[in-house]
């Protein structure tokens, strides 16, 4: 493991990067600010390595980042309608930071904070954060750890484990933007995707709150049950795509065993030959095609634009806390929050 500086945040505190490398030459780099996944380098030919994730050259970029490149999102990922919810008869108000709704827990998300490095070895790094009662508006003192492990078979395992001293909402996710052609290779429209989901969550309008329906993907541009280029139907005149400017929807996963870590997606790039398999034990995944990236100065002076990366954010269904029919992301007092997401690379 290598540790190096990553610049300082506005309060003068220095951020640190932690780099892990496996026997195959794959490297991942993590940051204690926001528990970010900063880079994923894989060998492509000879000594050349490609960085497959969007990000910044120093911590200041992440401090003002509205795209959430590589971020650990919490306490709740995705949207909560009206920026409020009720739990055990008490109404909790959150920050309304997007169209009157709460997105990714508001402007004071976990990705804008320093995390304690609890343990760091040659194969994994564990970050810890203590989130106090009423932090972001959520009840209870939430103690959460995120562990990134780089395996010898080229997988990044992200394990979340935590507990709370009161019933609360817990729905962590990772917001990495992948580009299997390389972070600086332009749009991802020719890269292909398979989603292990026959249903998705339609949204009501451009505010992206689900209707509560579990709709079939078959016969629509939302269908990724068979391998398809991300760009093949992204501009189709289809109401759901018009609402969100392209793919930015929750997919309900076909789970053989509830709560087991199973394949949720396979993405590939024919130009590089790189394939990424994604796994989760959660019931759903947000597929976001980077529709709203706009002229962002990224690593090495690259300018990231529209659809230059895609996200596969494992999660509970958005706004499930306010939907009676959905599995709710409630962590009960004394229980352990324990979930795993894996991104595995074939090259």
Q: Active site residue: 68, 175, 183, 249, which one?
A: 175
Q: How far apart are CA 14 and CA 84, in angstroms?
A: 35
Spell out the residues 6+ positions from residue 134 whose beta carbon is closer than 8 angstroms to its own: none
Q: Which of 220, 286, 288 is nearest to 253 (CA)?
A: 286
Question: What span, in angstroms and rounded, lies between the C-alpha atoms of 339 and 241?
Answer: 30
Q: Which of 191, 210, 300 is nearest to 248 (CA)?
A: 210
Q: Of the listed 27, 277, 313, 326, which one is catalytic? A: 313
The answer to whether 212 touches 320, Cβ cutoff 8 Å, is no
For the chain, the helix, strand and coil percentages under 3-state DSSP, each to the nearest 5: 5, 45, 50
**313 catalytically annotated:** yes
Yes or no: say if 281 and 339 are a contact pair by the CB < 8 Å rule. Answer: yes
For 132-208, strand residue ranges (E) read: 142-150, 155-164, 168-169, 173-174, 192-195, 199-201
Question: What's the farthest any 2 CA atoms get from each other in the chain?
Answer: 61
Alpha-carbon gap, residue 298 to 296, rounded angstroms: 6
Q: Could you give the CA distance from residue 315 to residue 284 in angstroms, rounded to a whole number? A: 5
**3-state DSSP of 240-257:** HHHHHCCCEEEEECCCCC
Residues designated as active site: 175, 313
């Amino acid at each position: 493991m290598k540790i190096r500086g990553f610049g300082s945040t506005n309060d003068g505190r220095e951020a640190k990067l932690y780099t892990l490398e496996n026997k195959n030459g794959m490297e991942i780099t993590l940051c204690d600010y926001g528990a970010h996944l900063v880079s994923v380098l894989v060998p492509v030919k000879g000594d050349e390595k490609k960085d497959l994730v969007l990000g910044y050259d120093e911590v200041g970029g992440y401090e003002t980042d509205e795209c959430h490149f590589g971020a650990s999102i919490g306490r709740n990922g995705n949207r909560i309608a009206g920026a409020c919810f009720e739990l055990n008869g008490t109404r909790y108000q959150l920050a309304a930071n997007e169209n009157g709704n709460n997105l990714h827990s508001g402007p004071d998300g976990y990705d804008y904070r320093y995390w304690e490095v609890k343990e760091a070895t040659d194969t994994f790094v564990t970050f810890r954060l203590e989130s106090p009662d009423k932090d972001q508006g959520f009840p209870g003192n939430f103690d959460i750890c995120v562990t990134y492990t780089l395996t010898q078979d080229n997988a990044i395992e992200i394990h979340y484990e935590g507990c709370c001293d009161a019933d609360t909402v817990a729905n962590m996710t990772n917001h990495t933007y992948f580009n299997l052609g390389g972070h600086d290779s332009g749009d991802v429209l020719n890269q292909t995707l398979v989603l292990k989901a026959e249903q998705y969550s339609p949204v009501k309008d451009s505010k992206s709150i689900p209707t509560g329906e579990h709709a079939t993907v078959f016969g629509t541009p939302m269908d990724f049950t068979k391998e398809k280029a991300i760009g093949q139907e992204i501009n189709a005149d289809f109401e759901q795509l018009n609402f969100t400017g392209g793919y930015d929807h929750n997919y309900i996963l076909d789970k053989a065993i509830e709560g087991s870590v199973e394949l949720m997606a396979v993405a590939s790039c024919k130009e590089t030959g790189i394939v990424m398999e994604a796994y989760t034990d959660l019931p759903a995944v947000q597929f976001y095609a980077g529709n709203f990236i706009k002229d962002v100065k990224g690593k090495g002076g690259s300018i990231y634009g529209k659809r230059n990366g895609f996200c596969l954010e494992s999660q509970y269904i958005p706004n499930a806390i306010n939907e009676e029919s959905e599995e709710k992301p409630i962590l009960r007092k004394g229980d352990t929050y324990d979930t795993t997401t894996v991104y595995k690379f074939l090259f």
